[in-house]
Structure 1
Amino acid sequence: MSGKNEWGPKQLVPEVLPSDFYLQPTLELAKSLLGCLLVKESDDGITSGFIVETEAYLGPEDRAAHSFNNRRTKRTEIMFNHPGHIYTYVMHTHCLVNVVSAEHERPEAVLIRAIEPFTGIERMKKRRNMTDPKKLTNGPGKLTKAMNITMADYGHTFYASSLYIASGYLPSHISTGPRIGIDNSGEAKHYPYRFWVTNNPFVSR
């Protein structure tokens, strides 16, 4: 972790969460990530934001998961690794970022759906070519573009790379509901595996 001066003299430098933070059941991890700070260090500076929305994908038994039925492909291979690894993939030209979860060889993950911008907001606006801060990162593809998260981050970890998750705040209330955009996943589309900070204006919907 570098670039500490960018946090400003009156702000605490965030502490990167250790690898054992990710040793939680996937549904619990999806909730624990809310309020944490997602940080990306790029050549042009730091961007960061508080995670305000996540979705859990429970692997082999979850029809909405890329690893349903233990499907092991070049894309999903990292999901079989240890928790805390970075799983990025491209969907409709957008890069999405996930936290690998569950035990080794148990392919589960948590999608980061939305963040509340914290630092580097002007960089985010330039990258997204827009000025409305509430629309910069209120979706999984939006936040990755705003933060310069790409397929180059695939396979690294959230505790030892230029893309990391740090301590943040504890939400006062968390809401739960079905995941978004998985209509072709049978009964899985009804699972209440989406979590968000209640009434946060930066949530995707």
Structure 2
Amino acid sequence: MDIQKYFESAETMDLARDMLGHTFTYESNQGKFSGLIVETEAYLGPIDMASHSYNGRHTKANDPLYQAGGTIYIYSIHSWLDMDISIQKAGTPNGILIRGLQPLEGLDLMEKNRSKTGFDVSNGPAKWMAAFGIKDKALSGTFLNKNNFYFSAKKVQTPQEILTTPRIGVKNKEPWTSKNMRFIVKGNPYVSKLPKREMNLDTYGWL
């Protein structure tokens, strides 16, 4: 799989949907962590009031968004760390936030890193980052499938149904607040802020 081509040759919204069911892996000094992507959010660069590159804002910190598709962008928000993948060709600063992961490998270490068990280990963008033991922005600007982070060439699981909703935490930025730019595997318990009554504990929302 040409990872750069994957992240540069389709629309950002379509990629945010397609990423669901692929695996995301981190090979760290602590060990190997891996999970299924169950929740994403799309950010459409300079036109998107919720994007870090809105109006063409370009700083040293958000420079990874301006790099080739497949570049890792790690940033802090309220003292937590989140991760976007740069989307589109260099110079077009779109991004996709990985919001939720269903653990596959390294669960014991994740639970230790988070001091949590169950779905709360990785059902949120800062939660899975902490579970993977990512404590700083040192790897921001690195490229997928070349360094520490790996995205699977193919879907490992196929969602039964994908739901689209407004993004979380985008306040007072209409019309962008209300746009359906968040994609989730319906019923997957590792989706952030999912009420228990909506959880599918039989199949976790996979075919």
| TM-score normalized by the length of structure 1 | 0.88
Structure 2: distance between partners of 1:159 and 1:43: 17
2:179 alignment partner in structure 1: 191
Unaligned runs of 5+ in 2: 194-207
Structure 2 counterpart of 1:63, from 39, 42, 49: 49
1:107 alignment partner in structure 2: 93
Structure 1 counterpart of 2:168, from 180, 190, 193: 180
Shift of 1:157: 1.0
Structure 1: distance between partners of 2:158 and 2:176: 29
Maintained 8 Å contact 1:40/1:148: no
Structure 2: distance between partners of 1:44 and 1:60: 37
Instruction: Give the alignment's Cα RMSD to 1 decimal.
Output: 1.3
Structure 2: distance between partners of 1:57 and 1:170: 23
Unaligned runs of 5+ in 1: 1-15
1:137 alignment partner in structure 2: 122
1:118 alignment partner in structure 2: 104
1:79 alignment partner AA = L
Structure 2: distance between partners of 1:17 and 1:197: 25
Q: Deviations over 1:26-56 (max 9, x none)?
A: 1011011101111011112101110000000
Give percent identity, aligned residues only: 35
Maintained 8 Å contact 2:82/2:125: yes
Across the two proteins, how many residue pairs are aligned to each other? 189
Maintained 8 Å contact 1:17/1:165: no
Structure 2 counterpart of 1:151, from 114, 137, 143: 137
Query: Is 2:157 the partner of 1:169?
Result: yes
Shift of 1:158: 1.3
| TM-score normalized by the length of structure 2 | 0.87
Runs of 4 or more consecutive aligned structure 1 residues displaced over 3 Å after TM superposition: none
Structure 2: distance between partners of 1:18 and 1:112: 16
